[in-house]
Structure 1
Amino acid sequence: MAVAQNAGHDGFHINWLGLSGEKDWNLMPRIVAEDYTFVTNNARDFRKLYISEEIHAGLIIIVPQVVPATQRDLFSLILDEIDGDDELLNEVIEISIEGDEAVLTRYSLPATREP
C-alpha cells in the first residue's frame, strides 16, 4: 500500500487490519462500514460481492496475476487515472494487460438502473 500512500492516499493492507485469512464475504462488512475503496486481483469473487452492495466506495481490480512489482506499476497507473476524482462511488476500475499495453476499464457496479 506504499504506492497509495506515496500518491497521497490512505492505504491499508488487510494484514495490517488484522483481517488476514478472512473469507472474502467476511471482509465486505468492514470494507463498506469503513468506506474503503478495495484493491484486489480476485475479480470474480469481489464483483459478485459488490453487485449486491447498494452503495460502496469503489473497487479496483488488477486483473492479471503478475509479480508484485508489476502489480505496483499497474496500481500506479490506476492512481494516475483517478487523480483529482473525489470518489469512486459505486464504480469499478479494472486494469488488464493486452499485448504490451495496460488497458483500463471503468464501469458502475451495481449498474445504474433506468426507472
Structure 2
Amino acid sequence: MAVRISLTTDNEMMELVDRYAKEHGVDRNRALLELIEGGLSRSDGGQPVNLNHKRAFEEYRDIKQAVDGMQLSLKELSEEVKLIHHIIDVEWGLEMRPVPYQSRRWWEFWKSQ
C-alpha cells in the first residue's frame, strides 16, 4: 500500500537529492525512496535507526534564532550606551567649570583657594 507524505528539508539536502536523481536517471520521488531504503538497509547490523539526533538544518535554524536574539540584544545595548553617553555629555556641559590647574599659573599652585 502506497502512502503519500510531505516533508520539509533545506536547500542543500534537496540539491543532493536532485543530483542523485539526475545521476541515476530517476525522478525526485524515486530518488528519495532509494536513498531512504539504502540508508535503512545500511544501518548497523539491522539495528533500529537512531532518530533522536538533530538534522543539520534544524541546528542551523536554532543557531540562527540565537544569533538573531543576540543581534537584537546588542542593538538594544548600543542604544542604551548612546543614551547614557548623551546624558553624560549634557551633564558635563552644565558643569563647565575650569579645572584648578587650568585656572592658575603654574607657579601659583602653592596658593590656597
* Structure with greater helix share of residues: 2
TM range (shorter): under 0.3
**Higher RCO, Cα 8 Å, sep 6+:** 1
TM-score by length of 1: 0.27
- Structure number with larger C-alpha Rg: 2
* Structure with greater strand share of residues: 1
